[in-house]
Amino acid sequence: MHSPQASQNKIPSEQEDAETQLVEHLCAELEAAEGTPVPLQELARIAGLSPWSTHRLFKRVTGITPRDYAQALREGRLRAELRRSGNVTRALYEAGYGSASRLYESAGNALGMTPATYARGGRGARIVYGLAPSALGELLLAATEHGLCFIALGTDSQSLEQELHADFPKADELRRDQAAVEEPLAEVLAYLEGQMPHFDLPLDIRATAFQRRVWNELVAIPYGETRSYADIAVRLGLPKAQRAVGRACGSNPVSLVIPCHRVLRSDGGLGGYRWGVARKRRLLRQEAGAD
């Protein structure tokens, strides 16, 4: 058996060295952008990998996502500019935020989300999606160039495509491209087949500040456990906001990755679920090891 010290002193393999060098190159690209957002697809092109593999590799090597790294760079520039000029507005723009609201949107976010890059109704978005049969019915998964924006379960592909179009009626592009979402689709399918989820996927979703706080709490619920709407409200410091928590759960556009099915009524009842109570019950039984 190797000692802990021996493990710490392990000589990196050639592959690990190559991966570290690649991530260092990506970091340099982010630093050179000087606060201008670099799309995940552009980083993937530089890396010669898929966006999903690029995101996962970057986080494995650095411990944070590319977006978090860029955010840290902007915050560092912001502090430096504030120290230099003392002008908040100028510092925000120099750091690459564009507006004060972008700074506030970025605070307290544990989901790896980008603030949605499209207007309400999907205006300006280019969205690709894939479909696949699953243990819980037909699965549709959609993404922008920045990350997942929509996941849905249903009885047939046509109704799911109609729902996607209804959620993003003003998208610049909305087309089926199985290859573009093959990796995240495979991860979600594996989870629905009973495998322990290891979702480490970039998200690109619209959210109010309150929704983000609720969704952060959902992500923190361990696999196989549940919380009540009241529990979440108390954790937010808003004990009377149970109904608002329920609405935030119901508006979650990437269910499964953000596990709103793990929230129940205070009496143990299942409560609602966008994709049907039967699916919610099946997911909870599976996570509890009953299936």
Both tokens of residue 34?
């000087």
Beta strand pairing call for 227-228 and 263-264: parallel
Name the catalytic one among 27, 149, 249, 260: 260
192: Cα separation from own chain's centroid: 18
Q: Is 27 a catalytic residue?
A: no
On whether the CB atoms of residues 55 and 67 are closer than 8 A, the answer is no
Active-site amino acid positions = 260
